Structure 1
Amino acid sequence: MDGETLHDTARRRAEALPEARLEYPFGPDWDVFKVGGKVFLLVVEVRGERVAILKAAPLDAEALRTAHADITPGYHMNKRHWITLSPGGSIDAALVEELVTDSYRLVVAGLPRARRPALPDELRG
């Protein structure tokens, strides 16, 4: 998967999630997707490479980094709870969509009940 496809796939999936909001708190070069005021996806270019940065459960993050050469610890984030997806052959669109959804679910689960969006059945964990 090339960088443009990675960015487009991650953005499209994030935009389709209930109450997801795109913001620019770090400037126009950082697409920051939030739910309930909390970040679940960052889409940015790092050192000339387009990447997506996502929240992940620590054990899942470790397994993903082991299984996929293009998944590394979260750039400028907590390395245990965040991962970075980079362009390359070890990830595809289905995996990107799944990881964006998982990141969203993790963040929603951590929100106070009053701030959680109503989730359709397919998003309930």
Structure 2
Amino acid sequence: MTQPLTAQDAADFCLAHPAVELTYPFGPETEVYKVVRRMFAAMNVDGEHPRITLKADPEDARALVAHFDDIAPGYHMNKKHWISVDLPTTTAPLEELIQASYDLVVAGLPRAERPKP
């Protein structure tokens, strides 16, 4: 059996990317990870059901929700562009999903503002 990926694993992977800032605009129970002032991940860390919400390509989001039991349309977000992953997860490719979310947000930044790898 695969080792479950936890909220701490998700936080560590988010923070490992260039130019990431951790903020708490919604209170201490919700960590918001931003790259150049734009959110790419929000994680509920206080409560019964921790989850991370990530940006996703709309087609990928539909496929992920259909394929993985622990992935749902984005909690409190645009359901077309965001997904939520229940934590801990043993099935969802969490690191790949975080990377894809970060990459989508960076691609939307003006070229001059994009962080250097």
TM-score normalised by the chain length of structure 1: 0.84
Q: How does 1:81-120 map to 2 (within 5 A)?
A: 81-87=81-87, 91-92=91-92, 95-119=93-117
Aligned partners of 1:106 and 1:40: how far apart in 2? 8
Give structure 2 stretches of 5+ with no counterpart: none
The runs of at least 4 consecutive aligned structure 1 residues that moved more than 6 Å come to: none
> What's the RMSD between the two structures over aligned residues?
1.8
- Number of the residue aligned with 1:22: 22
Deviation, 1:87, is 3.3
Letter matched to residue 101 of structure 1: Q
Unaligned runs of 5+ in 1: 120-125
The structure whose residues are more often helix, as a share, is: 1
Give, in angstroms, the shift of residue 6 of structure 1. Answer: 2.5
Are the aligned partners of 1:68 and 1:90 in contact in 2 as well (CA < 8 Å)?
A: no
Q: CA deviation at 1:50?
A: 0.5
Q: Is the 8 A contact 1:69 1:90 kept in 2?
A: no
Q: Are the aligned partners of 2:61 and 2:82 in contact in 1 as well (CA < 8 Å)?
A: yes
How far apart, CA to CA, are the structure 2 residues paired with 1:67 and 1:85? 12
1:54 corresponds to 2:18:
no
Task: Give the share of equivalent positions with the same residue, in percent.
Answer: 43
Q: How many residues align?
A: 115
Instruction: Note the 1:63-82 alignment, pairs <5 A.
Output: 63-82=63-82
Deviation larger for 39-48 or 14-23: 39-48
TM-score, structure 2 as length reference: 0.90
Post-superposition shift, 1:38?
Answer: 0.4
* 3-state secondary structure, aligned to 1:31: strand
